[in-house]
């Protein structure tokens, strides 16, 4: 799998999590306007690892949005 690129000067990796349902979605937060672009649903640790590997992201760089 080749690593996909994203503009780290404008986008921050993020997990949007629902307080009510616990549903999680991985994607990117736009640093200029705060909008969120979803990439994939996170239903397990395997999904999270896939997202991190897909974009070459270190888990410590991912913010959580509620």
pLDDT tens track for 15-45: 999 999 999 999 999 999 999 999 999 999 9
Q: What is the DSSP string of 32-65?
A: TT--EEEEEEE-SHHHHHHHHHHHT--GGG-EEE
55 half-sphere exposure, CB direction, 13 A CA radius: 22
CA 25 to the chain's CA centroid: 7
pTM, to two decimals:
0.91
pLDDT value, residue 2: 82
CA 60 to the chain's CA centroid: 12
28 in Cβ contact with 39 (< 8 Å): yes
């Amino acid at each position: 799998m080749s690593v996909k690129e994203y503009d780290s000067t404008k986008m921050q990796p993020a997990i949007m999590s629902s307080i009510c349902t616990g549903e999680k979605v991985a994607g990117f937060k736009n640093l200029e306007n705060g909008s969120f672009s979803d990439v994939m649903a996170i239903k397990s640790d395997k999904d999270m690892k896939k997202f991190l590997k897909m974009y070459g992201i270190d888990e410590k760089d991912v913010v959580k949005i509620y």
